[in-house]
């Protein structure tokens, strides 16, 4: 299983707008991905409710994981989005 450990780049964490951007990116990739707090259980990265339920704050570490074909490229793309705290969905997703 491929995984990436990433520090949240959004000051407000994965709440409201950042979570929406993240979930749209995860969905657009077409690869099943999970996200978890460093010490927590993984949830579906394409589920807004699941992502919000994590309560991830800015600067916290999360683990992105997938065992699907294309996982490495998908995780790299999401890791960049999360670590940089982008305000818009990148066109390369």
Binned at pLDDT 50, 70 and 90, residue 85 comes out as confident
Length in residues, the chain: 93
- DSSP E strands in the chain: the ranges are 2-7, 34-37, 43-44, 61-66
Mean pLDDT for the chain overall = 92
Q: Which of 2, 15, 89, 93 is catalytic?
A: 15
- In this prediction, residues 69-77 reach a mean pLDDT of 95
Q: Is there a catalytic annotation at residue 80?
A: no
Question: Tell me: domain 2-84, CATH 3.40.50.150, correct?
Answer: no
Per-domain boundaries in the chain: 2-84
Tens-place pLDDT, residues 17-55: 999 999 999 999 999 999 999 889 999 999 999 999 999
Which of the residue ranges 5-9, 57-61, 83-87 would you say has the lowest mean pLDDT?
83-87
């Amino acid at each position: 299983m491929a995984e990436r450990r990433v520090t949240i780049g959004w000051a407000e964490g994965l709440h409201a707008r950042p979570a929406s951007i993240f979930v749209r990116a995860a969905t657009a990739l077409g690869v099943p991905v999970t996200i978890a707090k460093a010490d927590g259980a993984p949830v579906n990265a394409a589920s807004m409710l699941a992502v919000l339920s994590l309560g991830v704050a800015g600067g916290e570490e999360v683990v992105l994981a997938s065992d699907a074909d294309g996982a490495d490229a998908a995780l790299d793309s999401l890791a960049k989005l999360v670590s940089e705290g982008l305000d818009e969905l990148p066109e390369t997703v």
